[in-house]
Structure formats: C-alpha cells, structure tokens
Amino acid sequence: MRIGLGEDSHRTEPGGPLRLGGIDVPHDRHLVGHSDADVLLHAVTDALLGAAALPDIGRMFPNTDPANRNRDSAEMLGLAAAKVAEAGYRVVNLDCVVHAERPKLADYIDAMRHRIAGALRLNPHQVSIKAKTGEGVGPVGREELVVARCVALVEANEGGSG
C-alpha cells in the first residue's frame, strides 16, 4: 500500500460556471488556469501520481506546452491513472477536500464523486469529497481562491512492480 497527497489552488474571476470535479457548477465566478483549472481533478491527479512516485501534474502536463491550453482535466486524470496502472498500482480509495466560500457544494458532491469514479473506473464509494468554506477569512473566504486537497491510497497489483 502507498499513499499520495495532492493539492492545488486556482484564483477565481467573475463569470461562471465553476468547473470542479469534472462538472460545471452554476456560479458567478470561474477558476483561472492554463488548462480548464479544475482544482479538484488536479489534486486527485497529483495524489495518484505521488502515490506511485511518478512525476507531478506540472511535469506531466506543463503549462508551457500549448497542447495543454484549456485541456480537459478529466483527460489529464485518465492519462495519469494509466501511468499509475503501468507502474503496477491500482486505486483503493480517494479522500478529497475542497475549500470554497461559495457556492455551497453539497448538491454537487455526488455528481463529482460519480464523475471521478467513472474517469478512474472505480465505485463511487471509493471516492470521498468534502466541502469547506473559508469562514470569510483569507483568500478562500474572500472568494479569490479555491483550494483542493486529495489523499490517494493505492496498492500494488499482483505481480506488479509496486
């Protein structure tokens, strides 16, 4: 068994929707980044890569490469998951936290869990997502930033290199 930790943050700007966990959440702000800026999928991707001791998302999909401009983070997650499998590991579970002042995410968590599970060929019960606010404090509380963290547990496949 191996554990990986992923974290990402992106600033927000006016204009929605908010792309999070592979779905569009209705909101008056969106995340800004080179790709589609989905902080949750970026955190999941880095957690999986870290668990397998592979290069991080920035090295795998550099923002200096024009091919990654506006790239779908679900596609990046799928490619990273394939690398993790090639390294001899399978995902056991994911535990994620999203820090965003608004919008309230409770109504979208299930859709995010299913989207991530589908991208990784997991059961949705293997994906946990929690949402926290900034309590009006700091860049998250002022709605300037959304942050996501993910812990991934992987195990070596039978006969794998892990």
Domains in the chain: boundaries: 2-156
The amino acid at residue 76 is M
Residue 63: predicted pLDDT:
87
The encoded tokens of residue 117 equal 């599970």
At 160, the pLDDT band (50, 70, 90 cuts) reads low
**Is a pLDDT exceeding 90 seen at residue 85?**
yes
For domain 2-156, give the CATH number. 3.30.1330.50
C-alpha–C-alpha distance, residues 66 and 75, integer Å: 15
- Mean local confidence (pLDDT), 154-158: 92
pLDDT in tens, 51-60: 999 999 999 9
* SS3 assignment, position 158: coil
**Is a pLDDT exceeding 60 seen at residue 162?**
no
Which phi and psi (to 5°) does residue 117 adopt? -60, -45
**Is a pLDDT exceeding 70 seen at residue 161?**
no
